[in-house]
Amino acid sequence: MNFPDIAPALSITRREVRDQFRDWRIIFPVVGLTVFFPFLMNFTANQILNFVREYGANIIGERLVPFLLMIVGFFPISVSLVIALESFVGEKERASIEPLLTTPLKDWQLYLGKLLSSTVPPLVSSYLGMGVYLTGLYINKIPWPEPVMLIQIVLLTTVQAVVMVSGAVVVSSQATSVRAANLLASFIIIPVAFLVQGEALLMFWGNYDTLWWAVFGLVVLGILMVRVGLAHFHREELLGREIDVLNIRWGWKVFLLSFRGNARNLLDWYWRIVFPAVRQLRLAIWIVTAIVCVGIGVGALQVERFPILLNPENFREVNARIEGMMNIYPVFAFSPVLAIWWQNVRVLLVSLVLGIFSFGVLGVLPLMATMGLAGYLFGLLQGSGIQVLPLMVGLILPHGIIELPVAILATAAVLQQGAILATPNSEKTVGEVWLTSLADWAKIMIGVVIPALFLAAMIEIWVTPRIALMIIGN
């Protein structure tokens, strides 16, 4: 088996790291953040601990110590963002990228070399900073956080650095100028700022187990970021694109070409464009179906954790309620149909937005959460001695038989969009790939999901209550 040759990538890394350590503009903040900042944090920790002890609020002090450790570790890795954002586009602006591109370096070797050179120095600085902080704690006789917590914080710092750097390198390899890259950096800074706030919240809350999920999520995101960066890094793109004017006409053309294809009419569009697009989702549909099952299972398991006692007496009034609903929403009343249809479409749009920011991964959350809730409710009903099957058949099945498959289909389309973005494509630019994958999603939504959801909403308002009354009433 031939192992990939990483020696050229390491040559790039060595050169860049050496270059960074010759630049006082990098040395100064790195040394400052490594040495002086931890001292400041030690001082802060000491002062606050003494202060809160006076009021018997020792728990605040205990939770502050690991939080400050995380902050000490995080600050130096923020430098990595600056280095990474500059990695490709900076060389392009200084015209030193072309000689590199003319060497036999493979794209991935160049990319990996840049990635490592942007990650390693700030990360080393971060570890050193944490070491200085912990030494300060030892000297000041302040107890260290638990070993598991230490591991969690080191892992979080490391994966945060990888996520930030890999995101910034993607930006740098696609931007046309350092200025543009810096402007685009807010897409990294803002989510990471939210992430750090979330982690801080978990630490002060004392919910340390959940931090493992944050580590896991970041590892997945980091892998996806690196994968996307490698998949869409082409040396041609670095030199072939000079202008960053937003070309809406071009974007629309690419989208429309993929959305409409060469279909002659609506029937042809369904036959040659939409159905093949649905067939392409086979794997994604299986994955989402599995996730739905897991969601229902996890939801049902939560009944033991969050038990609510239901009184079967309350269900005696169900008939009356359904009849009331039927009076308010008679057959062919359109406003409730539109309300339900729009609610479902809106959820699937949220799924798309979440998917766009997470390569499809978070796009499954709305459906998974809904199914989790459904599983929890079924579990609760079952646990309270209420027969679930008639409720399911009467209240969910008539419209759910359409609603659930199309929700799975739409979620699969979001997942597929993320997967396409993370798949190498030497023929198209990232922009083209993104637009065509969005067009694929739009085909599924407009061609299948939206009409089907409308049908499901009509059934839900006009038919389901009557079937429910028949089944549950008896």
Partner 1 sequence: MIYTEDLTKYFDDFLAVSGITLRVNEGEVLVLLGPNGAGKTTTVRMLTSILRPSRGRALVAGFDVEHHPDKVRASVGVLTEHHGLYGRMNALEYLEFFGSLYGLKGRTFLSRITNLLDQFGLGFANTKRLGEYSKGMRQKLALVRALLHDPPVLLLDEPTSAMDPESARMVRDALQGLRSENRTILLCTHNLGEAEELADQIAILRKGKIIHNDTPEELKRKLLGPAVYEARFHLPLDGRNIQLPHGVRLIERLENRIRFTIDLPEKTNPVLIQTLIGHFEGLMEFLELPRSLEKAYLEAVSRSDGRSEHELS
Binding footprint of partner 1 on the chain (CB under 8 A): 7-8, 11-12, 15, 18-19, 22-23, 91, 94-106, 235-236, 239-240, 250
Nearer to partner 1, 217 or 431 (CB): 431
Distance (Å, whole) CA 136 – CA 430: 47
Structure tokens at 291: 């996730």
* Least Å from the CB of residue 231 to partner 1: 17
Q: Which residues have C-beta within 8 Å of that of residue 469, sequence separation ≥ 6?
A: 319, 322, 323, 326, 394
Nearer to partner 1, 42 or 117 (CB): 117
Nearer to partner 1, 72 or 110 (CB): 110
Nearer to partner 1, 25 or 264 (CB): 25
* Least Å from the CB of residue 13 to partner 1: 11
Residue corresponding to tokens 């939409």: 274
Nearer to partner 1, 249 or 279 (CB): 249
* Least Å from the CB of residue 90 to partner 1: 11
* Least Å from the CB of residue 232 to partner 1: 15
* Least Å from the CB of residue 93 to partner 1: 10
Burial tier of 292 (Cβ tally within 10 Å: 0-12, 13-18, 19+): buried
Distance (Å, whole) CA 191 – CA 370: 25
* Least Å from the CB of residue 96 to partner 1: 3
* Least Å from the CB of residue 3 to partner 1: 16
Q: 437: alpha, beta or left, given left = phi > 0 and alpha = psi -120 to 50? A: alpha
Neighbours of 100 (CB within 10 A): 17
Nearer to partner 1, 11 or 210 (CB): 11
Residue 368's nearest CA partner among 354, 379, 384 is: 354
* Least Å from the CB of residue 30 to partner 1: 16
Residue 467's nearest CA partner among 349, 322, 365 is: 322
Nearer to partner 1, 18 or 282 (CB): 18
Structure tokens at 9: 């990538």
* Least Å from the CB of residue 180 to partner 1: 18
Residue 153's nearest CA partner among 73, 40, 219, 79 is: 73
Nearer to partner 1, 21 or 212 (CB): 21
Nearer to partner 1, 102 or 311 (CB): 102
At 118, phi and psi to the nearest 5? -85, -25
